[in-house]
């Protein structure tokens, strides 16, 4: 049997790679791994909670109110960051405003984390993969004070680390600190994330395209032409393209990262800015895609170059294998 490297060991081994190697970022990554194990456990019980122990939103056996899983996940991550002491503030999809932690330790933290605690949560009810996405920045506000909105509104290029956790047939954590991308699979028998996908690279091209084609009549004509191109041409490796759409961004992205492909959530006439959020959905995945040799754009502009204006800002999203994203963009006027 070859040697198993746990996430903990890996983070410590790579600590010297980090821009400010004090161990703080390592501890944040460990906090994320810890919270995601809790969420993974809860996700694995979702069907039981819904159908045997009592519906979410109703009461559990102890007569307590059951919370929806995305709220449970949000609290698990917030608690991990608040207790960790390295993070001075967070923003998440579940909270309208950012949260500045008020303890003295937190105010001395150097980092902020932006995250989507449980993306694709409408898929929970039907037992389909869902995920957590996170993005880590150095604060720009003075250490010792409260985190502010500027800390949260940094462009994707300023990320120091980003990643996602996929609660799929197994639970996986994939992250980058700007030195490549590595993937870890949770071994539930020992409760450890183990290095299973070292130095992940996205194939330069592929045969998979993922888009909600139900939107085809409300997207720009160039995109209609690109989808038609995929339907009626051979892919670069020969053979037909395949349409694949899970409707869980993390799962669709992860599959394309491994197999090669493109994921598109464009602007539509009903959602002129697209659906996905720049800060905690698109930026972190764009960082990972680029680190793995892929590309992420709004169709016109590199995602990581965009200067955010609002916490929950949305952006059209084209992400995946480099040549496929370039091809799709060549169809857009």
The Cβ of residue 237 has, within 10 Å, a number of other Cβ atoms equal to 10
Task: Give the residue with the Cβ less far from Mg ion, 278 or 295.
Answer: 278
Q: How far is CA 73 from CA 36, 57, 229, in A?
A: 8, 15, 40
Q: Hey, which residues between 118 and 147 contact Mg ion (CB under 5 A)?
A: 119
Q: Which stretch binds Mg ion (CB under 5 A): 6-14, 21-29, 116-124, 307-315?
A: 116-124
Residue 189: partners with Cβ closer than 8 Å, 6 or more residues away: none
- Is 212 a binding residue for ligand AHM by CB under 6 A? The answer is yes
Distances (CA, A) of 306 to 226, 267, 324: 24, 16, 21
198 vs 174: CA distance, rounded Å: 10
Is 49 a binding residue for ligand AHM by CB under 6 A? The answer is no
With CB under 6 A as the contact rule, the residue among 275, 288, 292, 325 that binds ligand AHM is: 275
Among 24, 31, 86, 119, binds ligand AHM (CB under 6 A): 119
- Among the listed ranges 53-61, 157-165, 176-184, 241-249, the one in contact with ligand AHM (CB under 6 A) is 241-249
Burial 270-307 (b: 16+ CB within 10 A, else e): eeeebbbbbbbbbbbbbbbbbbbbbbbbbbeeebbebe
Q: Which does 290 bind (CB under 5 to 8 A by kind): ligand AHM, Mg ion, none?
A: none
Residues 56-85 that bind Mg ion (CB under 5 A): none
Residue 139: name its binding partner from Mg ion, ligand AHM, none (Cβ under 5 to 8 Å by kind): none
Q: Residue 239: left if φ>0, alpha if ψ -120 to 50, beta else—which one?
A: left
Report the nearest approach of Mg ion to the CB of residue 112 (Å): 18
> How many CB atoms are closer than 10 A to CB 45?
13
Q: Which of 37, 39, 25, 33 is nearest to 7 (CA)?
A: 33
User: Distances from the Cα of 48 to the Cαs of 36, 256, 261, 273, 278, in angstroms?
Assistant: 19, 31, 34, 37, 34
Q: Is residue 247 part of the contact set for ligand AHM (CB under 6 A)?
A: yes
116 sits near Mg ion (criterion: CB under 5 A): yes
Query: Which CB atom, from 230 or from 264, has the smaller least distance to Mg ion?
Result: 264
Tell me the number of residues near Mg ion by CB under 5 A: 2
CB of 260: closest distance to ligand AHM in angstroms?
A: 18
Task: Give 116 or 151: the residue with its C-beta nearer to Mg ion.
Answer: 116
Report whether 332 contacts 299 (CB < 8 A). yes
**Binding test (CB under 6 A) with ligand AHM, winner from 66, 159, 182, 248:** 248
Whether the Cβ atoms of residue 166 and residue 129 lie closer than 8 Å to each other? yes
State which residue, 40 or 121, has the beta carbon closest to ligand AHM. Answer: 121
Q: Report the residue from 43, 161, 172, 249 that binds ligand AHM according to the rule CB under 6 A.
A: 249
Structure tokens at 307: 């200067």
* Residue 120 in the binding site for ligand AHM (CB under 6 A): yes
CB of 23 to ligand AHM, least distance (A): 32
CB closer to Mg ion, 74 vs 192: 74
Of the ranges 60-68, 118-126, 172-180, 306-314, which one interacts with ligand AHM (CB under 6 A)? Answer: 118-126
**Residue 244, φ and ψ in degrees, nearest 5:** -140, 120
Positions touching Mg ion (CB under 5 A) are 116, 119
Positions touching ligand AHM (CB under 6 A) are 93, 116, 119-121, 212, 247-249, 275
């Amino acid at each position: 049997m070859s040697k198993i490297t746990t996430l903990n060991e890996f983070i410590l081994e790579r600590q010297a790679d980090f821009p400010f190697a004090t161990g703080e970022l390592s501890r944040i990554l460990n906090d994320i791994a810890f919270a995601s194990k809790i969420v993974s456990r809860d996700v694995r019980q979702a069907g039981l909670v819904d159908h045997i122990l009592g519906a979410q939103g109703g009461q559990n056996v102890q007569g307590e109110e059951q919370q929806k899983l995305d709220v449970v996940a949000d609290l698990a991550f917030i608690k991990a960051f608040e207790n960790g002491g390295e993070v001075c503030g967070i923003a998440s999809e579940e909270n309208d405003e950012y949260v500045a932690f008020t303890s003295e330790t937190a105010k001395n933290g150097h980092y902020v984390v932006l995250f989507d605690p449980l993306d694709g949560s409408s898929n929970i009810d039907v037992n389909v993969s869902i995920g957590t996405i996170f993005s880590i920045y150095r604060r720009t506000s003075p250490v010792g004070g409260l985190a502010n909105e500027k800390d949260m509104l940094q462009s994707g290029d300023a990320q120091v680390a980003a990643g996602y956790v996929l609660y799929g047939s197994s639970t996986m954590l994939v992250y980058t600190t700007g030195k490549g991308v590595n993937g870890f699979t949770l071994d539930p028998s020992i409760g450890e994330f183990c290095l299973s996908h070292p130095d992940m690279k996205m194939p330069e091209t592929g045969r998979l395209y993922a888009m909600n084609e139900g939107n085809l009549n409300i997207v720009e004509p160039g995109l209609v032409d690109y989808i038609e191109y995929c339907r009626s041409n051979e892919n670069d490796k020969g053979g037909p393209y395949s349409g694949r759409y899970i409707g869980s961004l993390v799962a669709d992205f992860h599959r394309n990262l491994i197999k090669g492909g493109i994921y598109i959530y464009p602007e539509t006439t009903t959602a002129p800015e697209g659906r996905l959020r720049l800060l905690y959905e698109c930026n972190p995945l764009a960082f990972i895609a680029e680190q793995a040799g892929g590309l992420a754009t709004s169709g016109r502009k590199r995602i990581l170059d965009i200067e955010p204006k609002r916490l929950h800002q949305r952006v059209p999203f084209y992400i995946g294998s480099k040549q496929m994203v370039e091809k799709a963009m060549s169809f857009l006027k």
